[in-house]
Amino acid sequence: MSEHRYAAKDTECIGYVARPEGAGPHPVVIVTPAYHGLDDFARDKADWLASLGYIGFAVDYYGEGRTARDDAQASEMMHVLQNDRATLLTRMQAALDTARTLPDADKSNIAAIGFCFGGKAVLDLARSGATLSGVVPFHGIFDAPPSGCSKMNTSVLVLHGWDDPLATPDQAVGLAKELTEHCDDWQMLAFGHTSHAFTNPAAQSPDAGMAYAASSNDRSFDAMQTFLKERFAQS
């Protein structure tokens, strides 16, 4: 488990790599954090993925290792990239390129998962036409970038809380239509009575539509593991 520095054009990014035991090559799972930036939650997920036999690579889409001190600053930082989706994509593409160069990485078996704004980031990577084994947004945000969507060269599993106020049922249906047009292999698993941030135990604001949901959390990660095993076996 170690810090890993990489470049996204002129920006230095500071990620985190967790490695499994045993000789490689190992599939790589890119972990894209929520809007606070690369935090302990994302690092813990990278560590957990390493325990499953994957290289977990938690990425830094804000650059220079920047993280938010509170929700207000996180919102400000996120809106900068929300208004500059080209830069967000550049940093995700740099993360993908870096994943392929990690020691013991299986270059043909790379997937990307993302949480909240990180879910948007991995969807944008898929929309760019990048070649990956799979993309998995957890309680992601669904709006497409101004550049639109290219033919997707990956499989997509969307893990979604049906009561998420940041991704409404109409928006979920809109994403399904987009995926039907551009993605040959996609799935959407929606959890009833589940809001935003359902994988984060620190989310405890149900009145604001932000709440951890233990059963949905467990079901989502079970679905992700099944999806990754299937996709890596086929690559």
Question: Look-up: residue for tokens 């500059």?
Answer: 84
Rounded to an integer, the average pLDDT of 203-209 is: 93
| Per-residue model confidence as pLDDT tens digits over 180-201 | 999 999 999 999 999 999 999 9
Bridge partners for 65 per DSSP: none
* DSSP run (H or E) holding 26: strand 26-32
Residues 72/83, Cβ–Cβ less than 8 Å:
no
Q: What are the boundaries of each domain within the chain? A: 2-234
**Which class in CATH covers the domain with range 2-234?**
alpha beta
pLDDT at 1 over 80: no
76 by Cβ neighbours in 10 Å (0-12 / 13-18 / 19+) ranks as: exposed
Confidence band (pLDDT; 50, 70, 90) for 234?
Answer: confident
pLDDT tens digits, residue range 136-184?
A: 999 999 999 999 999 999 999 999 999 999 999 999 999 999 999 999 9
Helices 117-127, 71-82: crossing angle, 10 deg rounding? 20
| pLDDT for position 235 | 62
Q: For residue 208, what is the DSSP state?
A: G
